[in-house]
Amino acid sequence: MAQIVDTSDFRPGLKIKWEGGMWVILECSHHKMGRGGAIVRGKLRNLETGSSVDQSFKSGERFERIIFDEKPAQYQYKDGEDFVFMDMESYDQVTLSPDVLGDMVKFLIDDLEVSFDMYEGRVMGIELPNQVTMKITDTPPGFKGDTASGGGKPATTETGLVVTVPFFVENGEEIVVDTRTGEYLERAKK
């Protein structure tokens, strides 16, 4: 039985069927119009082609929610532009393009355990763990007394992701990053 959602259920990460395709909501905001009804503006990415669109929907529009089966997998390596994963059940290698993965490629470190999003036997994408430990490859040095300001400095990780970190974090250190927000959480425990 299909699960139906309407625009009031929209949130980043929700997957829906729309215009004959499968889409994931990347961003959404609700807007109340003067005398008319409310509208929901959203940015959606097609799960099959990787293309993104900005779209407005009338409040109350209904859609079929897509619920994926999950299957354990592990990121192996980058092959040219594509990313190779191993299915942890069958040990088959599955190659996914950056179009399908979107911004998730910034969190792919060697041997990262993920889940395949499966729909009717096809891999439609991946689910990342909520946190990933990454190594800092480039950040300016901190200076004594910088901690009082409570700010931060930019740091580039091994995958190219730029994160704002506290001043005491140095090159070569490992940090924990939230994959949902892309924010620094803490220094990795040794």
Range of the domain at 149: 131-187
Say which CATH number the domain at 105 has: 2.40.50.140
Say which CATH number the domain at 43 has: 2.30.30.30
| pLDDT attached to residue 1 | 56
Q: Number of folded domains in the chain? A: 3
Greater model confidence, 125 or 50: 125
pLDDT at 149 over 60: no
Render pLDDT for 69-86 as a digit per residue (tens, 0 to 9).
899 999 999 999 999 999
Instruction: Say if residue 24 is in the same domain as residue 60.
Output: yes
Cβ count within 10 A of residue 180? 11
The vertex-24 CA angle with 12 and 32, nearest 5°, equals: 55
Asked if residue 44 lies in contact with residue 24, where contact means CB atoms within 8 angstroms, the answer is: yes
**Verdict on whether the full-model pTM lies above 0.75:** no
Instruction: Say if residue 61 is in the same domain as residue 74.
Output: no
